[in-house]
Amino acid sequence: MQLTRKIQARKTIRTVLRLNDVSDRLKQLKAHHPDSYRHSVRTAIKAVEIGLELGYTQEELEILAISGQLHDMGKIRVPAYILDKKTEPTPQEREIIETHPRYSLIELLEIHIPIVKETSVQHHEWQNDSYPRRRKVDRRNPNRDSNSENPDRRTDNKIITDFSQIIAVGDHFDALTKNRSYRKGLPLEIVKKIMYQQMTVNPNYLEIALN
């Protein structure tokens, strides 16, 4: 079953790559930072796998595939030397890295595909140390934002909430399991512990991604 989902996910990824809006932007990301490009593709695959398990329609799966592949487009505005550092980023470099979700939104302003822009700016907002907005989400009710800078912004649309959480899970999973410039990928058992502790998403999405 898991292998079947992975095959179906890859097929969906190939389908949306036929769109110039997607393929052209991915070429930009790949040219600037190949590791971020590969991470984005893997994030999309994981997101689509979750969507398949949830019984999403083909249209919804394709939106997840596009959102996953383009969620880190803002990294083209982050210097590659920071992304490729062999040591942990300094606080100043971390601040620069944490600008990338807002820049993703800016880079995708001309994309007229529902939800893609919103998921790009939100994908780091479903963790305890959230950014670009600092907020605390009630895990028992992920749709309720209990401490937001803008409580009326991007919190009352269930579809956007669900999709951004799924992208966040795919993004976090890949970031932890794969080798980074400054550390090796972590074992799955450690990844599970970290994600359950750090993420404030619907627990069902974590269950699907981690089991």
Per-residue pLDDT tens for 35-92? 999 999 999 999 999 999 999 999 999 999 999 999 999 999 999 999 999 999 999 9
Q: What is the mean pLDDT of residues 111-127?
A: 91
Instruction: Give residue 6's pLDDT.
Output: 87
- Banded model confidence at residue 135, pLDDT cuts 50, 70, 90: low
**pLDDT for residue 185 is more than 70:** yes
Give this prediction's pTM: 0.88
Per-residue pLDDT tens for 151-163? 434 456 888 999 9
Q: Give Dmax (Cα) for the chain.
A: 44
- Banded model confidence at residue 96, pLDDT cuts 50, 70, 90: very high
Q: What is the mean pLDDT of residues 154-181?
A: 90
Following DSSP, what letter does each residue of 175-203 receive, concatenated?
HHHS-BTTBPPPPHHHHHHHHHHHB-S-H
Report the 10 Å Cβ neighbour count for 74.
24
